[in-house]
Chains A and B, each alone.
Chain A
Amino acid sequence: MNFRHAKTFLLGALVLCFLISLFANQINSYWLFISYDIGVNIILAVSLNLINGYTGQFSLGHAGFMAVGAYTAAVITNQFGELNTFASGAVFLVALLAGGLLAAVTGLLVGIPTLRLRGDYLAIVTLGFGEIIRVIFQNMNAIGGARGLSVSHGWANFFWAFGFAAITVYVVTALVHSTYGRGFIAVRDDEVAASAMGINPTKYKVTAFVVGAFFAGIAGGLYAHSKQFITPGGFNFMESISIVVMVILGGMGNTVGVIIAAILLTLLPEGLRKMAGIEHIPGFTAEFPLSWVGEARMIIYSLLLIVLMLARPQGLFTLRKSLLAK
């Protein structure tokens, strides 16, 4: 994406989201509902791409930050009854931002001790933190514990989901292309050389982590208000993995590719579900039914991971030679 046009892009995207949301009642509600998922996944994947792709820190705990944002936003909006359009918008915005901020603070707390670690150690520790966050939510009875929390307002709509997706894309692109942001790429390419040039790698890693966690929190808030029911189990390790798959499929450090991957991988399970609904395909009988296709999402994800790493480690949508393979 050309950075000089980024502000125009942001404005255009926001206006477009607003216009489309005006006609939202014309859209099939099934597709509308999926479009919220797409928006949420774009936010998650693009923000994780800042950490994994641009800064080169492999984090497996993104779903933990998402959980923090989801619970915070849900607890805030649950305090309110029915509101008019304007008031609900204001409350929702505040709730989302609060969720994002709390997730960012969590990211800071997690990031400062762990980001001294590298590579696979960091992956395991972020995974561990994600699981610890989940266990903590499971033990908080005030917000439902393992039984989950129902969210009274379904305020997520096309405007919010894609508006925040556009903001995420804008912030991540602008950040990486700024003078300051070149440091992220320097840290990824060679940490030792970067620190010899006077860049503080830990500071950059923590910044990437905090910004990434902030947007993951926002995505969590949107997710909570689109599904209207959240459980700690919904933010487990598998959820983190599916975000990682989006980033890897799209190509680490390739924002456009990651957006395409997020869209495709959100539609994939829906497509599989549709296929599973087709009863009569030659060769598929009662003994060998098609129903397993719908459950095959994770098998496809895992195969994608292996095949991509063996054949195309730079991701499907990156044309340049891999940034990873050096």
Chain B
Amino acid sequence: MTEFLQQLINGLAFGSILALIALGYTMVYGILRFINFAHGDIFMLGAFAGFYLAPKIATFLPMPSIAGALVVMGISMAICALVGIVIEKFAYRPLRRSPKLTVLITAIGVSLLIEYTCQNDHVFGSAPKSFPQILPVYPITKLGGLSLNSNQIVVFAVTLILLLALRFIVLKTKIGMAMRALSFNPEAAALMGINTDVVISFTFGLGSALAGAAGILFAVNYPAIDPLMGILPGLKAFVAAVLGGIGNLPGAALGGIIIGVTETLVAGYISSTYRDAIAFGILILILLVKPSGLLGKKEIEKV
């Protein structure tokens, strides 16, 4: 029982990171109907931004501290948002009217470009780097035999706060309303005076900032980072977005948690070598049984 709870907590921590990444996929898909393949690499850039920022922040703030961690996370999120907006502007915007396949291939190209440029020794280098400690860690021992520390709590808390903030932006603000209008019908939204380019840039920025936050949270929990670290979490988060129903925000969060927990349980009880195949297995299953996802609405194709 203790072991099961332990695996469940580990799974929830990993799952909430996936949920943050999945939100970016689902928002972009909701508006532009394409998979931003480079999203996993933004997640990686978030972790590396934290890696290079931490020593600089440490010169004026005490480093393993909550304030320092917040500053590192905030700046990393801003950097990722900027990268996301730049990618959209230069790679995807010229292809707004192109077939979906063209955009998908471009997105794969952008993803590979980021990965291989960062692997170059003049950029980050391909060797794994050890992420500095930016948060003080307190072991929590009062819960039976569970091995738990404050970092896992921090992951849940930060994810929850970001989810609530996102919900507020999407449901209560003007730009959020514009995002929803755009995902409903881009042409009609444009006719109503919504500047679609601005809204799309904002969406990319928002999704990328969440991916950046996920990168920092991931690095705090699993402190070895390398330029290819974004590929698998990125693909798994995409699966999470599809599982929850792509275009659906609560669905993405739910999908992330389900994938994270399932994967950790399978790795713990069946075989750890198959863990990377689990997400794809779930994806194939969901696309066969319920392609619209758990919370998604079925779309009817009009000819």
Q: Chain A residues in contact with chain B, CB under 8 A?
A: 56, 58, 113-114, 117, 119-121, 123-125, 127-129, 131-132, 135-136, 138-139, 192, 237, 241, 244, 248, 292, 295-296, 298-299, 301-306, 309-310, 313, 324-326
Contact = CB atoms under 8 A, between A and B. Distances in A.
A324 B99 contact: yes
A313 B116 contact: no
Contact of B35 (A114, A120, A136): A120
| 8 tightest Cβ-Cβ pairs between the two chains A and B | A305-B109, A128-B280, A302-B112, A302-B113, A306-B109, A298-B116, A309-B106, A135-B277
Chain B at the A interface: SS class: helix
Nearest to A130: B280
Given A139-B274, A306-B91, A248 B281 contact: no
B284 A114 contact: yes
A241 B287 contact: no
B1 interface: no
Interface of B: 34-35, 91, 94-95, 98-106, 108-113, 115-117, 120-122, 231, 235, 238-239, 242, 271, 273-274, 276-277, 279-281, 283-284, 287-288, 291, 301, 303
Chain A at the B interface: SS class: helix
Contacts of B115: 298
A58 B104 contact: yes
A93 B176 CA distance: 62
Contacts of B105: 244, 248, 305, 309
B113 A309 contact: no
Contacts of B110: 302, 306
A267 B135 CA distance: 50
Given A128-B283, A295-B120, A324-B98, 13 more contacts: A113-B284, A117-B287, A121-B291, A123-B104, A124-B242, A125-B283, A125-B287, A128-B280, A131-B280, A192-B301, A244-B108, A296-B116, A298-B115
29 contacts: A56-B101, A58-B101, A58-B104, A113-B288, A121-B242, A121-B291, A123-B35, A123-B104, A124-B238, A125-B283, A127-B235, A128-B239, A128-B280, A132-B280, A135-B276, A139-B271, A139-B273, A292-B121, A298-B115, A299-B113, A301-B112, A302-B111, A305-B106, A305-B108, A306-B109, A306-B110, A306-B113, A309-B95, A310-B95
B110 to A, nearest CB: 6
B29 to A, nearest CB: 9
Nearest to B288: A113
Nearest to A138: B273
Nearest to B35: A120
Contacts of B288: 113
Nearest to A248: B105
B120 A131 contact: no
Nearest to A128: B280
Contacts of A131: 276-277, 280
A112 to B, nearest CB: 10
Contacts of A296: 116
Q: Which of A136, A296, A324 has the most CB of B within 10 A?
A: A324
A325 B104 contact: no
Contacts of B106: 305-306, 309-310
B280 A241 contact: no
Contacts of A125: 280, 283-284, 287
A305 B104 CA distance: 10
Nearest to B122: A292
A298 B231 CA distance: 15
Contacts of B104: 58, 119-120, 123
B284 A129 contact: yes
A299 B123 CA distance: 13
Contacts of B279: 128
B108 A192 contact: no
Contact of B287 (A121, A244, A309): A121
Q: Which of B100, B116, B231, B242 has the most CB of A within 10 A?
A: B116
Contacts of B271: 139
B229 to A, nearest CB: 15
Contact of B102 (A123, A301, A324): A324
A324 B103 CA distance: 11
B102 A325 contact: yes
B95 to A, nearest CB: 7
Contacts of B108: 241, 244, 302, 305
Contacts of B277: 131-132, 135-136
Contacts of A237: 231
A114 B286 CA distance: 11
A121 B284 CA distance: 10
Nearest to B232: A131
A313 B284 contact: no
A241 B109 CA distance: 9
Contacts of B111: 302
A127 B279 CA distance: 12
Given A119-B104, A124-B283, A325 B120 contact: no
B93 to A, nearest CB: 10
A75 to B, nearest CB: 21
Given A120-B35, A309-B109, A292 B274 contact: no
Contacts of A117: 287, 291
A114 B35 CA distance: 18
A278 B88 CA distance: 38
A256 B101 CA distance: 22
B112 A324 contact: no
B38 to A, nearest CB: 10
A94 B116 CA distance: 39
Nearest to A123: B104
A246 to B, nearest CB: 13
A248 B101 CA distance: 11
B31 to A, nearest CB: 15
